Amino acid sequence: MSLVVSPDLITERLVLRSWTADEAAAILDDRRAAAWPADFPAEGDRVIAGLFDEHPDWLGPFGHRLIVERASGLVVGSIGLFWPPLDGDLELGYGVVASRRGRGYATEAAVALTAHAFTAPGVRVVHADVELANPPSVRVLEKAGFQRVGTQDGVARFRATSVRR
């Protein structure tokens, strides 16, 4: 697995940084890292770590990142853009570990990565699909400035065409 280290995105309380090869391998091998709380990685993190070889662009400057809590230095989730864009449209995915939910971290990370996505040439839309059975995730997108554009089979589609200020 070849990882491209991208500049960190820094927010008020978080650092969004590139995955390392060691972190992805540790997740796939069920090894623990000192900078992980007990509830990291989540299942979604395992899935993403397993797809890096198949999707190397996800490790580029507009791909997937770990969410690091600045105060503790712990990895508390992950967020990513499913690169490359299709006709100017990118998908956003994210997850924060249960022990850190309810603090606004997912919204803070979504705002930062969405703003970063719009710096990429040709990106016009960032979208995310969320199950309606997950109201906290719906609120994350609403707070991050995404607009609901449709619902089908219990899944809401949200999109952003600009950055929330």
Task: Report pLDDT for 21.
Answer: 83
Helix, strand, coil content of the chain in percent (nearest 5): 30, 30, 45
Phi, then psi, of 10 in degrees rounded to 5: -115, 130
User: Partners of 15 in the beta sheet?
Assistant: 10, 68
Both tokens of 125, joined, read 């839309």
> Per-residue pLDDT tens for 118-128?
999 999 999 99
- What is the share, in percent, of the chain residues with pLDDT greater than 70? 95
CATH architecture of 9-123: 3-Layer(aba) Sandwich (3.40)
Residue 11's nearest CA partner among 99, 105, 78 is 105
**Ranges under pLDDT 50 in the chain:** none
Task: Report pLDDT for 2.
Answer: 54
Q: How far apart are CA 77 and CA 65, in angstroms?
A: 9
Q: How far apart are CA 22 and CA 10, in angstroms?
A: 22
